[in-house]
Structure 1
Amino acid sequence: MSDSIVSPPLAPRERNPWLAYYVAGCVLAWLLYVLAGTEFQRGLWQLWEAVYQATLSLWPPMLLGLAVHPWVNRLQRMAPAPAVAFLLHALAALLFGALWELCEFTSAWLLFGHDHAVAVLLQTLLWRAIWGVVAYAAIATGFTAMLQSRRARAAALAAAQAESALARAELAAISGKLNPHFLFNTLNSLIALTRKDASAAEAGLLRFAGMLRYVLDSKRSAADRVALADEVEFVRDYLFLESLRLGPRLRIDWQIDPATLADEIPPLTLQPLVENSVLHGVAPRVEGGRIRIRSGRDEHDGLALCVEDDGPGCDPATLEQPDAGSRRGIGLAALQRRFALDYEGRARLRVHTQPGAGFRVDLWIPQV
């Protein structure tokens, strides 16, 4: 047999811990400054002097750095040309250095007087300007990387949510194709039966009522799961209705492993496959035919299902380009699409057929 194998959108608001990261970075820089300026062999007083120097020197850039985050965030939202962005950052770096010097001059004036503040300013003017640019560049680079990473995560989340919503919508549309197709065929069978045997038609209607309840329940959500036992019972009711029409021409071979009855599958998984076998493998033949329905577990602990008939089969090439009279049918086409979308693409559907060699569909459905 031949085998046929079948600008980012806004994301929900998320916690932005940039301030905690910034404070942690400032504390680390302060500790490194203290360690670099401490000579422990000279006594504890040297440690306190290093703490004093680190605090006096670093509080201005640490405080000013808080304003860099909203500035970088605004620049990223504006998305200026690279040359314009470089110019704006250069001006911001110069302003950062000037404000650092102003803060240091003010604190020195308040602590030690005007003359000392002026002397310190003249002594450190050039180096403070250089270190201001370096500090601004480091802080702005860190915030830029953090914001870009956050936006990338938000874009990935939004894309995943959009893809998930699209998959749910497509699954719902697929289920909508399966159910009316099944109901149409079943109603036709019941109408034909009422003309031949009224009591059998009444029994069939009772079965049909139970089947209809199952179909309506399965319409709650395309992502719902049902126990294999419920799906098997549903298929038994369907085959009972078909047997009223086809009689002994329809022969069923059930090979259901009891250990799999509690396994979960999408609703209306087996019925379209069995219906295809009835319509194309059994009903057109005077002698009828046999349908085999199997379930079991494989070495990967997944549920393996098989629906097979001994009918005329078909050319596998027709499965790739189905037409109105194709054996593929609406149910099989929809199931193939459903299995491509559901279970994160892990479920499998394979068709085995050749002219004169029957038709078999194997399903593998993960259970974890």
Structure 2
Amino acid sequence: MSAPRLSPTTARPSSRRLWLGYAGVCTLTWGLFVLAGTEFQSGPWKIWEALLQSTMTLWAPMLLGTAVHPWMGWISRRSRPFWQLALLHAGAALLFSGVWLVLDYQLTQALFGTEHADAMLAQYILWRAIWGLIAYAALATGFGAVFSAQRARSLAIAAAQAESALARAELSVISGKLNPHFLFNTLNSLIALTRKDARAAEQALLRFSGMLRYVLDSKRSATDRVGLQQELDFVRDYLALEALRLGARLRVTWTLDDAVLQDEVPPLTLQPLVENCIVHGIAPRVQGGTIQISAQRDALNGGLNLCVQDDGEGCDPAQLEAERPGRSGIGLGALRRRFALDYDGRARLRVHTQPGAGFRVDLWIPQEA
């Protein structure tokens, strides 16, 4: 996978910061040279002489440093063996020193004449060559670090984009798993009901058609949101269908805050939890049981607190942690993974259960301000 290219609006500020930083380093270096060559006891003349000497010494490598940047960019665009890199940098360092000497000689010749320029060249050629190699090494290291940081950032962005795409795809698959699971159980309930009461079955089919419309609409996208009121209406229809089968064995209590009914939730958030309560907590017991459903505003952070619990037999929490087949069911396992992926991982799902103590699932869903 190739690294993503930065857009022009992103690249310009980054390039501006780079050259502002380069100008700052050059200014700092020039200032240190001035201080190193200044003799304050000798008066203003020595200060001006230090300023002139520092400028004459550093203007050429500072100018040449701007050419090292594209050179390092060209080198960093493809990987090369170490020996090739060593040869390329050795040649570039010699060229850098040579051009520095030429520029320094021409400026000195233009200001003070050929004789003075020849004398200065003979006096400083060795040291200028050595300083040229050192200056090139410092510039190549600095610009190389910049390109390495940019490449690492591009790779991090590409990895984040790939992870996000994978999360969205996995979330779509998880959302798709919920619907067949629900449909299979509901159709079984309707088949059983048609053998007992045709009129009740007809009413149930009308409810079921409305539920099916909700399910089909919710499959538009895994990241779709629906109002909590819609989700609750869907759950009420589902419970009405199950009540036709379970009768008085199924009891439901609601604790709903009117202020949260317009909050948004992922579709099919509550129904799998209610289904688990019925399948594992209510239906196996002769006396049935009670399902409690609550929706409240979180006073601390403004999120939505949802709770679904039953007073059934519960189960061993270790069984859930091991993700073994059992009480967790397809719906709860998918919801757990769904909430780990959705809302950038901020949504929370917690399970509280013990053998003989019922089963409770708490959800916290963030809400936009």
Q: TM-score with structure 1 length normalisation?
A: 0.84
Give the secondary structure class of the aligned counterpart of 2:204: helix
CA positional deviation for 1:273: 0.6
Instruction: Please list, as runs of the form range in 1=range in 2, the aligned pairs for 1:287-306 lying within 5 A after superposition.
Output: 287-298=287-298, 300-301=300-301, 302-306=303-307
Q: CA RMSD in A?
A: 3.0
Instruction: Please list, as runs of the form range in 1=range in 2, the aligned pairs for 1:140-289 lying within 5 A after superposition.
Output: 140-289=140-289
1:322 to 307, 321, 324: 324
Residues 190-246 of structure 1: CA deviation (Å, up to 9, x unaligned): 343344444433333333333223223322322233332222122112112222333
Q: Relative to 1, partners in 2 of residues 1:310 and 1:130: Cα closer, same or farther, differing over 3 Å? A: same
Q: Relative to 1, partners in 2 of residues 1:136 and 1:186: Cα closer, same or farther, differing over 3 Å? A: same
Distance in 1 of aligned mates of 2:159 and 2:144: 22
Give the secondary structure class of the aligned counterpart of 1:215: helix
Residues 103-149 of structure 1: CA deviation (Å, up to 9, x unaligned): 12223334444323222211221221122122212211211221121
CA positional deviation for 1:248: 2.4
Moved more, 28-37 or 341-350: 28-37
1:10 to 3, 6, 10: 3
Distance in 2 of aligned mates of 1:210 and 1:112: 95
Equivalent AA in structure 1 for residue 284 of structure 2? P
Equivalent AA in structure 1 for residue 4 of structure 2? A
Aligned identity (percent) is 64
Equivalent AA in structure 1 for residue 3 of structure 2? L
Equivalent AA in structure 1 for residue 348 of structure 2? R
Moved more, 272-281 or 313-322: 313-322
CA positional deviation for 1:39: 7.5
The answer for the alignment partner of 2:132 in structure 1 is 132
Give the secondary structure class of the aligned counterpart of 2:313: coil
Distance in 2 of aligned mates of 1:243 and 1:218: 24
Equivalent AA in structure 2 for residue 322 of structure 1? R
The answer for the alignment partner of 1:308 in structure 2 is 309
Equivalent AA in structure 2 for residue 184 of structure 1? F
Asked if 2 retains the 8 angstrom alpha-carbon contact of 1:322 and 1:329, the reply is no
Distance in 1 of aligned mates of 2:343 and 2:105: 65
Equivalent AA in structure 1 for residue 159 of structure 2? A
CA positional deviation for 1:292: 1.1
Moved more, 180-189 or 293-302: 293-302
CA positional deviation for 1:183: 1.9
Moved more, 285-294 or 199-208: 199-208
CA positional deviation for 1:293: 1.0
Asked if 2 retains the 8 angstrom alpha-carbon contact of 1:69 and 1:143, the reply is yes
Distance in 2 of aligned mates of 1:343 and 1:78: 38
CA positional deviation for 1:271: 0.5
CA positional deviation for 1:159: 1.7
CA positional deviation for 1:80: 4.2
Residues 262-287 of structure 1: CA deviation (Å, up to 9, x unaligned): 33332211100101112222233343
Q: Relative to 1, partners in 2 of residues 1:252 and 1:95: Cα closer, same or farther, differing over 3 Å? A: same
Q: Relative to 1, partners in 2 of residues 1:174 and 1:116: Cα closer, same or farther, differing over 3 Å? A: same
Higher relative contact order (CA 8 A, sep 6+): 1
Distance in 1 of aligned mates of 2:249 and 2:134: 88
Asked if 2 retains the 8 angstrom alpha-carbon contact of 1:246 and 1:283, the reply is yes
The answer for the alignment partner of 2:25 in structure 1 is 25
CA positional deviation for 1:172: 0.9
Moved more, 358-367 or 144-153: 358-367
Asked if 2 retains the 8 angstrom alpha-carbon contact of 1:291 and 1:308, the reply is yes
CA positional deviation for 1:26: 3.4
Distance in 2 of aligned mates of 1:197 and 1:78: 75
CA positional deviation for 1:298: 4.5
Equivalent AA in structure 2 for residue 255 of structure 1? T
Instruction: Please list, as runs of the form range in 1=range in 2, the aligned pairs for 1:54-69 lying within 5 A after superposition.
Output: 54-69=54-69
Q: TM-score with structure 2 length normalisation?
A: 0.84
**Structure 2 runs not aligned, ≥5 long:** none
Q: Does 1:72 align with 2:72?
A: yes
CA positional deviation for 1:25: 3.4
CA positional deviation for 1:65: 1.4
Distance in 1 of aligned mates of 2:49 and 2:315: 91
Distance in 2 of aligned mates of 1:264 and 1:281: 28
Aligned positions, number: 358
CA positional deviation for 1:330: 0.8
Give the secondary structure class of the aligned counterpart of 2:172: helix
Give the secondary structure class of the aligned counterpart of 2:307: strand
CA positional deviation for 1:96: 1.1
CA positional deviation for 1:185: 2.0
Give the secondary structure class of the aligned counterpart of 1:363: strand
Distance in 2 of aligned mates of 1:169 and 1:242: 32
Equivalent AA in structure 1 for residue 306 of structure 2? L
Distance in 1 of aligned mates of 2:250 and 2:116: 107
Equivalent AA in structure 1 for residue 146 of structure 2? M
